[in-house]
Amino acid sequence: MPATSGCDEGVDQALVEKAMDVGRIREDFPILGREIGGRQLVYLDNAATTQKPRQVLDTLRTFYETYNGNIHRSPHLLGQEATDLYLQAHQNVARFIGAEDEREIIFVRNSTEGINLVAYSLLSGGSDQMGLAPGDEVLLTVAEHHSNLVPWQMVRDRKGVVLKFLDIDDEGTLDLEELERSLTERTKLVCLAHVSNVLGTVNPVREIGKLAHAAGALLLVDGAQSVPHLPTAVKEMDCDFLAFSGHKMLAPMGIGVLYGKRALLEKMTPMLYGGDMIADVTLDGASWNELPWKFEAGTPNVGGAIALGGATDRHSGRRLEGAVDYLNRLGMDAVRRHELELTARALQGLRAMPGVRVVGPPQAERRCGVVAFQVEKDGAVCDAHLVAQLLNDVGIAVRAGGHCAYPLMRRLGGGGTVRISVYVYNTVSEVDTFLGALGEIITHKLL
């Protein structure tokens, strides 16, 4: 990876070059060899979903070709093997985020389902601590993804809780003093994204958690845009809940994680009811299984979970590599450094273009690898979808629109944005290709 100018915002170039052989990494991702409109694909939509390496795809195929059986039910060898591999996936994900044990890891479909699980459980009220009453407060921010907003609107409408919202400044940063002033004895929960999917802002969740806990509130962190990109240690963060999605970190779609502190999960009411989440059932009632199965009703996405967490066949020693294994091999510190380099390069190039307005923090080190922007020409904001389509015409995949964060887009002045987002297989050359194409579009194709 060549050294680049203007990318010194907290980035040690020598460490980046030593730590990540991006050319070798790219060989693991078959889709990157595609051409779009006769051009080599430049995939810069990783905040929406990431591509999958051969190792993870092989694990998914191997599970269904070799080990496929239903877990916790069947006494035959396939059922036993599938159950053990699935348990190992819980254990490996727990280690990846620094959780106490696998009982604190609940496999769900995605971050959205994980947040909804917490919302429905609090709505049902398993205990005084883990329930909400009319007049209780849930504290959010204006920058939340709809997945961490709409569930709480549902809770408000059904239970009469009060939703309070923290604002951001012009650089997309939260005011911790405003947070402290907003916390009251009725605040039961603080919910926010660790990283904004629009602004890229890395929020100080550890400090926010200290303030929340001092006020007697719990902290739920939406980690969809942080766990794939930053070293994560839930004990150090001291969050009570953390939700994230496998498909944003090299794993298949349809598998996600809700982490919760064991003492809290024990008190919570399940969201789904049926097979495998019960300890006993009579015609008069039921009792719940132990963690984490209490929250994993029905047949789960076993193959997807193993493709996320990885596992080993204890009899043959065969390794089924998961996305967590792949990221661990790269090293999350190295992932972070690599993304800082690419983000700084993109910010530098976009700032140099007339008519381009970048939203979010100006410094790369205050962001993850997300950069959203608007293009103005002749005093008007250009249609973000048109810009994205013109980029697609030359093989560059980006996202455009409101990014499932409509209140934030209104706070930023209205209109959609174009968003690029980078990951481990992206290169400086790809960022430069994007910048060059955008410059051509602004100069020659936007009326």
Q: Which of the residues are catalytic?
A: 404
Q: 3-class DSSP state for residue 95? A: helix
The span from the CA of 415 to the CA of 394, in Å, is 24
CB 14 within 8 A of CB 2: no
Tokens of 82: 């599938």
Nearest 5°: the CA angle 42, 62, 86 is 100
C-alpha to C-alpha distance for 295 and 117, rounded to whole angstroms? 9
Amino acid code (one letter) for 383: D
What is the secondary structure of 360-413 as a DSSP string? S-SSGGGB-SEEEEEEEETTEEPPHHHHHHHHHTTTEE-EEE-TT-HHHHHHTT
Helix axis angle, 54-62 to 323-330, nearest 10°:
150
The helix (H) or strand (E) run that includes residue 96 is helix 77-97
C-beta separation of 340 from 93 below 8 A: no
Please classify residue 39 by burial: count the beta carbons closer than 10 Å to its beta carbon, then call 0-12 exposed, 13-18 middle and 19+ buried: middle
**Side chain identity at residue 373, one-letter code:** F
What are 313's two structure tokens?
């066949």
Beta-ladder partners of 312: 319
313 closest CA partner among 25, 22, 118, 65: 65
Cα angle 329-330-332, degrees, rounded to a multiple of 5:
110
What is the torsional sign of CA 372, 208, 111, 134?
Answer: negative
Q: Map residue 164 onto helix, strand or coil.
A: strand
The CA-based dihedral angle spanning residues 187, 188, 194, 198, taken in that order and rounded to the nearest 10 degrees: -60
Residues 6+ away with beta carbon under 8 Å from 123: 132, 154, 155, 158, 159
Contacts of 266 (CB under 8 A, 6+ apart): 291
Sequence-separated (6 or more) residues with CB below 8 Å from residue 128: none
